[in-house]
Structure 1
Amino acid sequence: MLTFTSYTVENLRDPFGILSGKRYEFMINLDVPEEDELYEENGVSARVIFKVEEEKSAIVSYDLLETTTGRVLDFDMEEDEEAALALFCTEHLPE
């Protein structure tokens, strides 16, 4: 199971008013156990685009990155990990 260690969140502006709802970009540092296939010596972060529209919220997209270099990792999270990530984003939305 992944542990979220720190994060930043930023409101993404839609200058043309094309998108419905609000979008947020989360940068979340992950604590990945060494035995996990996601493990990277330089750390792993997730860049998440999260959508909030009325009472619904969901992950639009995410990338896993090597924290130090920003290199995109070619891995996908498992369903339970994605669900935990979505819950984390929901609980840490800006007021």
Structure 2
Amino acid sequence: MDITQFSMEEILDPTNIIEGKRFEFILDVEVDEEDELYHEAGIEVRVLIAEKNAEPFILNYFVMEKAKGEYLDLALEDDELEEILAFCKEEIAKA
């Protein structure tokens, strides 16, 4: 899995109900044709990151088919989630 492009946005809580920070990442991902995640039009992974005690973690994620914008009922493997979390942590640290 290769992350080719991304966008990151901090999710603001005007009510201050949510403790810590929240971020939304949209990751443009390339996968091998043999991978079950492969779709000809490509896929995106929408990731919600929460930060508690200055330690980011994945709150939730969604895999989407890019052409139709449809959510796919697929789960990422642990190593893929670790790779995504490491990427997101690095980008949050830069912000």
TM-score (normalised: structure 2): 0.94
Between the two proteins, the alignment pairs up a number of residues equal to: 94
1:22 aligned partner: 21
Distance 2:58 2:79 in 1: 13
Compute the displacement of 1:57 (Å). Answer: 1.0
Unmatched 5+ stretches in structure 2: none
Structure 1 runs, 4 residues or longer, greater than 2 Å off: none
Distance 2:13 2:63 in 1: 24
Compute the displacement of 1:78 (Å). Answer: 0.5
Tell me the SS of whatever aligns to 2:13: coil
2:30 aligned partner: 31
Instruction: Kindly report which structure 2 residues correspond to 1:5-84, keeping only aligned pairs within 5 A, or say none.
Output: 5-84=4-83
Task: Say which structure is richer in helix.
Answer: 2
TM-score (normalised: structure 1): 0.94
Distance 1:26 1:85 in 2: 10
Compute the displacement of 1:81 (Å). Answer: 0.5
Distance 2:39 2:50 in 1: 28
Distance 2:41 2:20 in 1: 35
Compute the displacement of 1:53 (Å). Answer: 2.4
Tell me the SS of whatever aligns to 1:19: coil
1:90 aligned partner: 89
Percent of residue pairs bearing the same amino acid type: 35
Unmatched 5+ stretches in structure 1: none
